[in-house]
Structure formats: C-alpha cells, structure tokens
Amino acid sequence: MSESNSMGLAALKWCSVAVATGVLAGCASYGDIEPHQTLTPISRLSAAQVIGDSPVTPAAWPQQNWWRQLGDPELDSLVKEALSDSPDIAVAQARLRSANAAIAAARAGTLPTVDASAQISRSRVSEVDDPMGQGNFYSTSRSALLSFNYDLDLWGGNRAAWEAALGSARAQEIEFQAAKLTLSVNVARAYVSLADAYAMRDVAQRQLDRAERINDINDELMKAGLNNQSDSLQSRVTVANARQSLESAEQSIRSERISLAILLGKGPDRGQDIPRPDALSPAILALPSVIPAELIGHRPDVVAARWRVEAASQRIKQAKAQFYPNINLSAMAGFKSVLGDYFFSEAAKSGSVTPAISLPIFEGGQLRANLDSTDADYDLAVAQYNQTIVSALGEVADDITTLQSVNQQRQSQQQAVDNARGAYQLSEERYRAGLADYLQVLSSEQQLLTAEQSLTQLNSQRLDRSVQLVQALGGGLSLDPTVPHRSSGFPDAPNPSAPTVVDSPER
C-alpha cells in the first residue's frame, strides 16, 4: 500500500472517530424545539347543509378553457391575448424562472466539484528570498492542478435544502397557473361588466324613447288646447333626465373598454376595437359531485400552500443537520516545477488528500435560534394552508348560494318587469285617450324603468358569480391529491418549468 493511501485511510479513521464523538455530544441539543401547528384534514370541514340543495354533476369541474362556456368567441380571443401579453403573466413567469434557478443552485450543493487550474509565474529572486543567500536571478514556476471537493452531507442537510427549493419551485409553478387563472377571470368579469354596461345603455335608450314619445304627445295636446304647459314642462324634464342617464351609460361602456385594454397589457386605444359582447351564458351552474374532498387537487392556491408546507418541512431538516458534525473531503493532484524540462517528470508530481471535519461546539445560540425560526416558518406555512382551505370552501359555498338566490330573484324580477310594462302601456293609452293624468304615466314609467334596471343587474350578477364560482373551483387545474410527493402525503405537482402561456388544450 502506498504511503499516500495509508495517510488517507488514517485521516478517514480519525474523522470517523471524531464524528461519533460529536454525535454523542450534540444530538440532543435541539430536543425542545418543535413545530406547533398541524395540517387541518379536509374531512373536518363540512358544507353539506349550505350547498346540499345545489345541482350536482360529476362533469361540473371547470375546463382549462372554461371561459368558452360563456359563448362569445371574442372573449376567447381576449383571454388568449391577455395570457400572451399581460405584464402580470410576465411577472409570474420571471418568479418561476428564479425559483427554477434556485433548484439548480441547491442541487449543486449535493454534488462534488472538480476544478482545474494552470499557472505560470516568472519572478526575480532577491538575496533575502534565496536560501543560498545569493539571489539576483530570475525563476519561473509552473503548475497544473486538478482539485476535487465533496461535502459528504452525512445528515442530509444539503439534500433537504435541494428538496426545499424544489418544493418552493413547485409552489411557484402552481402560483404561475393561479396568476393565469386570476387574469382570465378578471378579463371575463370585465367582459361581463362591458355586456352589462351595454344592457344598461339599452334600458336608458328605451327610457329616452318613451320620454320623447310622451313629450311629443304633450306637445300635440297642448297645441290642441287639451293640455296645460305644466305637463309639457314636466315631460321635457323627463327627456333631459333620460338623456343624462344615456350619456352616463355610454361613459360606463368607455370605462369598461379601457379596463379591458389594461388587462390585455395594451394602451387604452385597444379597448376601442372591442365590439359589443354577444348574449352571454353562465360559465357554470352546477357543483362537482365531490365537494370538498377533491377541492385540494383543483384549487391552485391550496396546492401551492401545501407545497410551501413541504418546503418548510425540508428546511427544518436542513436546520437540524447544522447541529451535527460534517466531513468535507478535498483532494488535489497535478504537477509543480520550476524547471520546464522536468514539469511532467516523477519529481514534479504533487498531490494531497484532505478530509476536514466541522463540529459545532459553541455557537452562542445561533443554531437554536435558526431552528426555532425555521419551525416558526413551518407553523406559518401550515397556518396559511389551513386558512386557505377554509377560505376556499367558504368561497365555493358563498358563490353557489348566491347563484341560487340570484336565479330566484331573476324569476321574480322578470314577473315584475312584465307587470310594470303592462301597467305603463295601459297608463299611456289612458292618457292618450284623456282618461288619466300625466302623473300616472310618470309613475308607471318610473316603475318600469326601475324593474328593467334591476333585471339587467341581476342578469349581470348571475354571469359574474358563475365566473367567480369557476375561480373558486380551481379554473381547470386538475391534480390527483391522492398521489403523495413523499411519505408526508403532500400532493404531487408538475415539475417546475416555464410553460407556455397561450396553451388552452381541451381536456
């Protein structure tokens, strides 16, 4: 056995003894520091009484391109444009790239490093530096070395850091999907608001038409001496008010178009090219058959929150590994010579093996403080996850119950509109025949206007709530929550990547 090998084995034996001694001395130093929070099982949360009467179907989970259910091809184009050009998506994509880079950096800590170096140096040797006491000559040194370094990571701290980075990146990937969902929902809701603005303008236009028609009747009656000037003045006031309402409705249309242009990541002029929306249908009206059990696999915020819990648990392992001793193995081999002719000779060979052990003895409480802080971060991640699932189920319940209420209100309001329209037509005929005064016409007209505006608002609320329900159900995300990432049981998620932002495949 060569002398260098014997030295390496002796060094390793010495390190092994030192490691064993260190473990015995320090392994119980953090025993009283533990997390306090626990994940809330989804089975503990119930909404059966609240949503028990809702329509249920296994096919009710939204699709990735859920906005097509509203039935307007223009909305499909707008959503795709927003997902392609919006700065919000660019921000989320940049964060995902940063998280992916953190994975690579953490992964590097688990692997050995190999470096090569070559150097040539020429210097004048002084009399002081020359062991022979002569000096005053030039010397050239040459070296070519290959070095190796490996952290043995005896307690898995480096690997835990890598897995924590992986969990954070997977959470960021899911949050990238959440950003896309939020943007598509905002575009759809703004489009619904634009449709509502057009509908309110139609109501205002009908009100102006009625007011002008009554004003014409008053002018004819006054010319015939069958009416007084007071009725004519009142009808002109009604016409002026109707024109003001119509202009207000037109401004609402302009504002909604500008809002859509901003969501698309374009200037306000882009909104001028958006046509009037077609008649829209609700995005969703029924609940999936399994609520809330499968909600954790469909909500991006819930999935991301669980991945952050997983990442926090790995950081605890990383912090605990700092309490134990560790070995770093370094080796070097190459050639060193001041004589060029002998550079690759046996005499110029150089090499070393350097096992190094690090053992925390006194850190002034820094390691314990770091672990305590890491445990607190874990508790925070768990608490945020618990808060997220409670809020998620609450949003679903609120959206579906609101939809049920709005549908019932629409039925009643439609009857009110029909009755108010009939009353107005009758009062108009009676006034034209001289059997009723103008105040009766104004009263019935105001009732019809109010009823029409309320019905338009309820129709818009129905569409808007259906879009919000899609978001509450995850907007097309579908991950199997029963597939564990590790023994801790966290759901699997796609490997971190930067997926294209314009894909909307059929499921």
* pLDDT at residue 426 is higher than 80: yes
Domains of the chain and CATH, by start: 1-27+113-152+327-359 (2.20.200.10), 45-110+156-325+372-472 (1.20.1600.10)
Nearest residue to 118 (alpha-carbon basis) of 142, 144, 141, 140: 144
Altogether, the residues listed in the chain come to a count of 507
Residue 309 phi, psi (nearest 5): -65, -40
Count CB-CB contacts under 10 A for residue 360. 16
More confident residue, 56 or 299: 299
Residue 495's pLDDT band, with cuts at 50, 70 and 90, is very low
- CB-based contacts of 403: which residues, under 8 Å, 6+ apart? 282, 285, 462, 465, 466, 469
- In whole angstroms, give the CA distance from residue 116 to residue 11: 24
* pLDDT at residue 377 is higher than 50: yes
Q: Give me the pLDDT at residue 110, please.
A: 76
- CB-based contacts of 120: which residues, under 8 Å, 6+ apart? 140, 141, 142, 143
Q: Which of 173-177, 348-352, 425-429 has the lowest mean pLDDT?
A: 348-352
Residues forming beta bridges with residue 120, ordered by sequence position: 142
> For 56, which DSSP code?
B
- In whole angstroms, give the CA distance from residue 471 to residue 347: 74
Digit-coded pLDDT (tens) for 449-476:
889 889 999 999 999 999 998 888 888 7
- In whole angstroms, give the CA distance from residue 424 to residue 429: 9
What integer is the mean pLDDT of 307-311? 87
Residue 352's pLDDT band, with cuts at 50, 70 and 90, is confident
| CB distance 185 to 62 below 8 Å | no
| CB distance 195 to 112 below 8 Å | no
Would you call the peptide bond into 268 cis, given omega within 30 degrees of 0 as the criterion? no
Q: Give me the pLDDT at residue 256, please.
A: 93
| Strands ordered across the beta sheet of 349-358 | 113-125, 137-151, 326-337, 349-358
